[in-house]
Amino acid sequence: MNEVKLYLTPLLQRRHTLCQWQRSLHALSVNTFGLCALTQVVFPFYFFRLRIWTASKICGTLNMLQPLRILFRPKWMVSRSSASYVSRMRHLNKIKEEDEACRAALQSGNIFLYHKLAPLLRRTDSGIYQLPALQTKDVEEILEKLGEDKEMVKESILINCTEQNEAQFSFDVGAIEQAAVEELCRGTFVDLRKAFFLLRGSEAPLVARGQALLRWHQTNGFCSSTGQPTQRNQSGSQRVCHSSGITYYPKMSPVVIVLVSDGKRCLLGRQSTFPRGMYSALAGFCDIGETMEEALRREIAEEVGLEVESIQYSGSQHWPFPQSSFMVACHATVNPDKTHVSVDKVELEDARWFSLEEVQEALAIKAPPRNNKGEPTVFWVPPSYAIANRLIQEWANQQHLKS
């Protein structure tokens, strides 16, 4: 039930980003070259290479003159100085692995506060919500002011590091009175689902990552083999049971999410727990030992009784609700002569084919109109931060280019 709430207020605007156009052109180029063979998956290597090619088409011919080696690099490696990226990743890895280095990094690092897994947000004068990054000494001061042991700050969990190599940590103050911390920090602890709507850019994935790590530590305090307490390393990248020697690492459950098309329409489904009128791409957890392609084909067969003919990788996303999932997003096609949908009513309330016009209308909705009970009254799709939205947007762009 909670899961549905994240879709209630789609505040963020959908943007036709360069990436989306690149992906659309990429998809079109794949079709043009007749590469819709059975079970075709575009691996990240090939995918990124084509993305760079399509970006060059859009931006003019200049990029085409880049040295060939650039063509084999992902986009983020092209747009950034690789030296700074490499040094940042090496620095991050060092503080992740070495306790002493991590303790030193914490002294000058940034800390994001959570209260019982709800992140602290601060509203700026211009009404924008931000994730306040506190310094370690600030957090120590807050703890002391509230009569707590300032050493508690050492329980912070490493999340990432900034472009300036400053380490970023998450720290849960759930044992302390919420209002007192909010007052001292001039902020509010907000449920993560709401925070996802309020934050912009890279702050949403960052806050989700911080929460996912805190949640994992809070629920993995004991060894499942011996029942003994597990001990974390300084960065929080692992927990060890010294009795059995077992090391535990934070985990994500792989989920495949797929937008099925018959060439002209796309298939969307809804669960009974979704808000009224909302349809999404079909998703399902991978079974152990399955490949992504096997999971995708199985889920589509189980949920809607269709056989997938071709698969095209689109992208991925860490999804923190209700617990960490690793969403692998794909487009898939079915034979246009075999499109009869038979819905598994245990899994889905409904699934049906939608035309480009219907999808475009749904994508244009910022916030669905509601009846007097507050229920949406039209067909709408998940908000832009969900990878389902990206798949639907990509499909619509591709259809638009085809027509």
Ligand X SMILES: NC(=O)C1=CN([C@@H]2O[C@H](COP(=O)(O)OP(=O)(O)OC[C@H]3O[C@@H](n4cnc5c(N)ncnc54)[C@H](O)[C@@H]3O)[C@@H](O)[C@H]2O)C=CC1
Site residues (vs ligand X, CB under 6 A): 3, 253, 255, 257, 280, 283-285, 317, 319, 321, 325, 327, 382, 386-388
Residue 235 CA to residue 125 CA, distance in Å, equals 34
Minimum Å gap between C-beta 295 and ligand X is 10
Q: Which residue, 96 or 193, is less far from ligand X as judged by CB?
A: 193
Nearest distance from C-beta of residue 3 to ligand X, angstroms: 6
- Judge whether 223 and 246 are in contact, CB under 8 Å: yes
Structure tokens at 356: 């480009």
Burial class (CB in 10 A: 0-12, 13-18, 19+), 373: exposed
Amino acid identity, position 91: H
Beta-strand runs (E) in 40-182:
110-115, 118-123, 129-130, 134-135, 157-161, 167-172
Q: Contact 282/256 with Cβ under 8 angstroms? A: no
Q: Which is nearer to ligand X, 3 or 375 (CB)?
A: 3
**Distances from the Cα of 212 to the Cα of 104, 111, 220, angstroms:** 24, 15, 12
Two tokens, residue 98: 């070495």
For ligand X, which is the closer residue by CB, 67 or 201? 201
* Least Cβ distance, residue 317 to ligand X (angstroms): 6
Minimum CB separation of residue 112 from ligand X in Å reads 22
Q: How far is the CB of 348 from ligand X (least distance, A)?
A: 8
Q: Give me the least distance between CB of 219 and ligand X, in Å please.
A: 13
Helices (H), 155-221: 178-185, 192-198, 203-219
- Indicate if the alpha-carbon torsion angle 173, 177, 181, 184 is positive or negative: negative
- Shortest Å distance, C-beta 287 to ligand X: 8
Residues 250 and 213 sit within 8 Å (Cβ to Cβ):
yes
Helix, strand, or coil (residue 280):
strand
